Amino acid sequence: MASLRITYADRDEHGVIKTTADPPATPRAIDPFDHTPLNLAVEADPARAPATDQPTRIAPRLLHIGGIIVLLVAGLLIILIAVSPAGPRALPMGAPTRGQGAPAAAAPTSAPPAAPTAPAPTTTPPIAAFFGVGANRAPDIAAGTPLTYTARWGADWAQVTAPGGGQVWIARGQAAIDDPTFNALPDAAPQPTPVPARVIVREVPGAPPPCATADDIRFTSPRDVVVDGLTIGHVEGRSCYSQNEADRTADLLAQAQIDAYHQRRHP
């Protein structure tokens, strides 16, 4: 293999390959059929060799960043297409365009106010009737039926005569009469029996009846006075008021005779 070695000795101070002023008379002929590669390697000068560190390769990074930007732009376009309103619709044939004086849209007219609805009529419940106070239920009386009030039961019930002639009782709350008229009706309720007053009689001692004459003495107590089996006298107790008082008087008189007897025997 033919080779041509060029060294730093063949270069000038600017790095340009030096040439001779007179080229060789017989230049080297190159065989066109010689397929031996020509070695044009240049020996590197260790003193003047460039730095071995290669510059940072930024082309792949730029391609990566560019791909991300393209994806973001494509996604943004898809979102804008999805949320954008529909395009203008085609006008029907014969419809005037905006430039041809299309008629303005008519202003919406307000709906007429609804007519007020009348409230539903309320039905008055019938009047509950009874055959008596605390008795069984009678047929109800229709509200508004004219009634004749004949009596009352205390302050809670009223007796009425229906148009058919029957008499029933209704509650005071359903009686259509005022209080003075209701209170003026005869009360059919049994009235409470008055309790008689309790009378206490006490005997108050007063002045004793007079004992002026013998006819006034109504109680007597006669007895004999006996001492040691010997009758020494006779006494009689008298009273105008009670027998006890006559007996007590007889005892006093008998004791007085006994005392006198002993004083005479033993002075």
DSSP letters spanning 232-251: EEEEEEEESS-HHHHHHHHH
pLDDT tens per residue across all 267 residues of the chain: 455 666 777 777 777 777 655 555 555 555 555 555 545 444 445 555 444 444 455 567 788 898 899 999 998 889 988 877 655 555 555 555 555 555 555 555 666 676 667 666 678 888 888 988 888 888 888 888 888 898 999 889 999 987 777 889 999 888 888 889 888 999 988 877 777 777 675 655 555 556 667 677 888 899 898 888 888 888 988 888 889 998 999 999 999 988 888 888 776
Q: Is 226 among the domain residues? A: yes
Q: Give the structural domain span for 137.
A: 127-183
Total count of domains within the chain? 2
Can you give the C-alpha Rg of the chain in angstroms?
79
Q: How far is CA 171 from CA 110, 162, 239, 263, in A?
A: 56, 15, 75, 99
Instruction: Indicate whether 30 belongs to any domain.
Output: no
- Kindly state whether residue 100 falls inside one of the protein's structural domains: no
Report whether 264 contacts 257 (CB < 8 A): no
- Assigned domain for 134 exists: yes
3-state secondary structure of 158: strand
Task: Determine the pLDDT at residue 244.
Answer: 92
Asked if residue 10 belongs to a domain, the reply is no
150-208 confidence digits (pLDDT tens)? 899 988 999 998 777 788 999 988 888 888 988 899 998 887 777 777 767 565 555 55
155 within some domain: yes
**Nearest residue to 158 (alpha-carbon basis) of 134, 137, 138, 188:** 188
Across the chain, which distance is largest between two alpha carbons, in Å? 230
Q: What are phi and psi of 222, to 5 degrees?
A: -80, 145
Cα dist. 87→27, 83, 84 in Å? 79, 12, 8
